[in-house]
């Protein structure tokens, strides 16, 4: 499915409200002056309040499962608005709340 390209300034959160940021953006391609993000780069999650039976079990990192099927940069798929990620250690998804709206990919 087509979707807007994810960039460093996109608002991404874990399912519990923690803030997710890319560990290594791709400075080779920019959108609206900000680097895009590639699928192999994990996201780091901060501020996740998730607890299991009163024991903290926050999201720490997230790995992307899907990315662009037609657009690559440096030989790796770029991330799109509809890309899916799974947080570790609890397996919940990342939620992409907002991103740029100028460049789309598939």
For residues 56-76, one letter each, b for 16 or more C-beta atoms within 10 angstroms of the residue's C-beta and e for the rest, the string is eebbbbbebeebbeebebeee
The helix, strand and coil proportions of the chain, stated in percent and rounded to the nearest 5, come to: 0, 50, 50
pLDDT in tens, 26-83: 999 999 999 999 999 999 999 999 988 888 889 999 999 999 999 999 999 999 999 9
pLDDT of amino acid 74: 93
d(C-alpha 102, C-alpha 92), whole Å: 29
Cβ neighbours around 31 below 10 Å, total: 20
């Amino acid at each position: 499915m087509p979707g807007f390209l994810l960039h460093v300034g996109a608002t991404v959160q874990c399912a519990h409200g923690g803030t997710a940021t890319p560990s290594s953006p791709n400075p080779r391609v920019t959108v609206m002056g900000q680097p895009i993000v590639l699928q192999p780069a994990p996201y780091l999650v901060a501020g996740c309040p998730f607890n299991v039976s009163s024991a903290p079990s926050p999201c720490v990192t997230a790995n992307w499962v899907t990315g662009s099927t037609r657009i690559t940069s440096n030989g790796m798929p770029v991330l799109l608005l509809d890309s899916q990620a799974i947080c570790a250690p609890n397996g919940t998804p990342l939620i992409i709340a907002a991103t740029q709206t100028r460049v789309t990919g598939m």
